[in-house]
Every structure is written in C-alpha cells, then in structure tokens.
Amino acid sequence: MLVTSANRTAEILQKIETRQARIGIIGMGYVGLPLALLFSEARFRVTGFDIDPRKVETLNRGASYIVRVPGTEIELARESGFSATGDYAQIAAMDVVIICVPTPLNEYHEPDLSYVTGTVKSIASHVRDGQLVILESTTYPGTTEEIVVPLLEQGNSTGLRVARDASSAGFLVAFSPEREDPGNDTVARRDIPKVVGGCGPIARDLASAVYKTIFNRTVPVSSPAVAEMTKLLENIYRCVNIALVNELKQLCMRMDIDLFEVIDAAKTKPFGFQAFYPGPGLGGHCIPIDPFYLSWKAKEFDFRTRFIELAGEINAGMPYFVVDNIIEAMSQQGKALRGSRILVLGLAYKRDIDDLRESPSLTIIELLQKRGAQVEYNDPFFPTVGQGRKYALNMTSTPLTKIPEFDCIVIVTDHSQYNYRSIVATAKLVVDTRNATRNIEAANIVRC
C-alpha cells in the first residue's frame, strides 16, 4: 500500500509538472474565473463549473461578464481547452478540483455555508482516489476538517476516505485562501504568495505544487485551520484599522483637523505604521463579512471577539454618519432633506470596480429615501441596477450633465474617471466622503 500511494503521489506530481493534470474550478465568479484563466495561461486544460446557466453559456461563447476580465482572455482560454459546465459528473475527470463559491452571512449575521455544503454534497459522489480537492472560499477555522471532509466521505458511496499520509489511499483535501484585491494593479497576481494548508503533508505538498505553476511563491502551513485563520487575520486587521481611522475622522472633524493630512504625514514613518483611510463604510464580499465568521465560531469556545464587534459597530455606523452630514450641509444652505433631489456618485463598493456587494452606497441611498429624499445615482460601471439579495433599486444611471438639477451631490465612490473639478463647478453642494476633492478649494464642498 505504501508503495502504491507513493507512486500515486509521484504520478499526480508528474501530471502537474507536464500540464497533463486537468483542473476543475467550481464557482466562476470574481475569484474562480480569473483563477481558471491563470491555470489556462499556464497551459492546463481547465473546466469551469457553475450553477448559473447564463455564466456557463457566456463563457462557452468566449465572452465575459466581469469588467476587468476582457472577453479576449476567455477566447484565448477557450483555444487552450477551457470550457464551462453545470454538469458535476465531469468532476470525475478532473485531477484537481478548486472550490470558489460564495460564503456570505445570513440575516442574523451568521456564516451561511450553504454554497459550500451544497457544492461539496454535489461533488461527493464523483470524487475519486488520488483526486485533490481544495477549498478557496473564505471561512472560519475548522470548516475544511469539520464540514468539507465529512461531507465528502459521507457522500462517497464507494467508501473512499481522505488520504492523510503516504500509507493511505483516498482523495486529498486542502484549504488555500484567495488574496485578491480587486482593482489593485500594483501587485501582479503571480506575486501574491499563496498560503496552503492540507489535511496531511501530501495534500499540502500537492496543493503547493499545483499553485506553484501560477504563483511565484507558496506558503505551506501546518493545517487547513491555520490557512483559514490566516485569511481571517488579514481581513480582520483591515477591518479593525479602517474602523480606527473612521472613528478618528469623526473626532478630527470636531477638532477641525484634516485626518487625511495626518495620515499622509504619519505614513512617512519608515516602520511600524501602515496607512488606512476612512470612508463611508465597508463594502465588498470580504471585509464587512469575514470577521463575523470568526466571531461566530469563537462563541463555540465561549469567547467574545471584542475588537471585531467594536470595529463592526463603528464601520456599520458610517453610512448613518454620512447621512447626518448631508442633512447638516443642506440645512446650512437652508434646505431640508425631505423632498430634495440627491445624486449619489458611485454604487460600486470601491473605486474603479464593477462590484456592488455590501456597498455603503446602497445603505446611504436607502437611508436617504427613508428620510424623504428623491435619490438618483451615477456609476459608469452600472448603467442600470435592479434587484439584489438585500436591495431593490431598479434605477438607471443619471448622466452627469444633470448635476445642476440636484440639491446635493454625494461622492460615495471615487471612481477615477470622474472629473471632480467639473462636478464641483456645476453642483450646488458636494458632500465628499472619500476626499476625492482634496485639491479643489470651493465653498460648496463639505468633506465628511
């Protein structure tokens, strides 16, 4: 048995090195699709799995549905054998299966692992001996060992088990967190080190070998739980530091100190300081959500993660703070919010991306509407916006030429294609939550 399994490991390694290994990626979203393209560029034959038939159809005709992924890249991948499918039976033909499905929170702010469990249950009957399954979805420490492995073992009618060492047969399981920073082009994807934790050293080393074909460096750690916790530490670090500057912004406004100037000065310190910037609230699939995966899990250990809760409270309060500032700025001009026309600039949760998940703009629009304002939006990345899990806007982007018609323009997302000088010059009032107007002196700007 020892020899057989060692041979099998060597065989998989050779398949990876010679690019004969077939790679299946489940979840063709913001994480899974770019990952599929990276493997395809590295000359692997890649299959993308998704339950959304529109995504499958779009990819199979060589087109894209994500702004920063050009259709030409899909076409190129198609020429190298990339295809998409919703048919899980094809999992059996894969050597490596990487799961990149969503991990949101439910209405009670608790982890919603239904996408992960749904996926794992669906693939369990197709998983085979020697196959490597890697979870990339962000989640709490313990998910891979406590949820993924048992579901794979229970759903496998052949009685196949996870192989934890060279002496056992079975499939291999690892966790490797995604570290992408959407819209950040300063670091090439290849240069972002990839953390890998395996259920046993063979799974860890094989997963490392797979990722080394597309990343310059992998960081093997001792267990999936360490890899899961690493991702959460990174995001909690951001969440807590953003909360700190969001709180300091509120204090600095009272003290008439420009916090952005303070941060710029502080970041000249060559050690021990990293700059974080205040804003209208957290957005995206990661920072507002991931910390709560840990605080939920901590309760099992009778532990309260007070930093996370405090940071969550401060960050969640920021859209309310922005709305209070809009009301105050309008009242300074002798206007009431009720009945006034407000144009929100930017729906995306951050600059230059086409993702509005958890965007503070959605909360700000809702709060303004509840207070009787007539709200419209402009966003070059969203010509129209319909209905999501947590919002129902059903609106069309208002052209910037209509700015003079509005009582107040609120900059929530500082897209780089906006001409801020022209916006300020034509607006009655600008409330700037991003310091986008920092180089413009005008009486109609209120920064908050």
Ligand X SMILES: NC(=O)c1ccc[n+]([C@@H]2O[C@H](COP(=O)([O-])OP(=O)(O)OC[C@H]3O[C@@H](n4cnc5c(N)ncnc54)[C@H](O)[C@@H]3O)[C@@H](O)[C@H]2O)c1
Which residues contribute to the site for ligand X (CB under 6 A)? 26-32, 49-52, 55, 100-103, 115, 118-119, 137-138, 178, 180, 182, 285-286
| CB closer to ligand X out of 36 and 446 | 36
- Cβ neighbours of 369 (radius 10 Å): 13
| CB closer to ligand X out of 180 and 258 | 180
Q: CB of 253: closest distance to ligand X in angstroms? A: 31
Structure tokens at 156: 């496998």
Q: CB of 346: closest distance to ligand X in angstroms? A: 18
The alpha helices in 148-223, defined as continuous H runs, are 149-154, 201-212
Per the CB < 8 A criterion, the answer to whether 398 and 318 are in contact is no
Alpha carbon distance 112, 437 (integer Å): 39
| CB closer to ligand X out of 55 and 434 | 55
Structure tokens at 82: 């990339």
Q: CB of 223: closest distance to ligand X in angstroms? A: 19
**Would you call 85 helix, strand, or coil by DSSP?**
strand
Up-side HSE of residue 289: CA atoms within 13 Å toward CB?
A: 19
| CB closer to ligand X out of 314 and 353 | 353
Q: CB of 362: closest distance to ligand X in angstroms? A: 16
Catalytic choice (100, 199, 239, 286): 286
Alpha carbon distance 118, 87 (integer Å): 14
Alpha carbon distance 80, 19 (integer Å): 12
| CB closer to ligand X out of 148 and 259 | 148
Q: CB of 184: closest distance to ligand X in angstroms? A: 10
Per the CB < 8 A criterion, the answer to whether 290 and 231 are in contact is yes
Up-side HSE of residue 239: CA atoms within 13 Å toward CB?
A: 28
| CB closer to ligand X out of 248 and 391 | 391
Q: CB of 429: closest distance to ligand X in angstroms? A: 34
| CB closer to ligand X out of 37 and 202 | 37
Active-site residue 286, yes or no?
Answer: yes
Per the CB < 8 A criterion, the answer to whether 119 and 91 are in contact is no
Q: CB of 66: closest distance to ligand X in angstroms? A: 8
Q: Which residue has the tokens 């999936």?
A: 224
Q: What are phi and psi of 331, to 5 degrees?
A: -65, -30
Alpha carbon distance 347, 183 (integer Å): 15
Q: Considering all CA atoms of the chain, what is the largest pairwise distance in Å, rounded to the nearest integer?
A: 83
The alpha helices in 213-285, defined as continuous H runs, are 224-255, 259-266
Q: CB of 182: closest distance to ligand X in angstroms? A: 5
| CB closer to ligand X out of 69 and 252 | 69
- Cβ neighbours of 356 (radius 10 Å): 22
| Entry field: residues in the chain | 448
Alpha carbon distance 239, 307 (integer Å): 10
Q: Which residue is nearest to ligand X (CB)?
A: 29
Across 115-141, b (16+ Cβ under 10 Å) vs e yields bbeebbeebbebbeebbbbbbbbbbbb
For 263-325, strand residue ranges (E) read none
Q: Annotated active-site positions, please?
A: 286
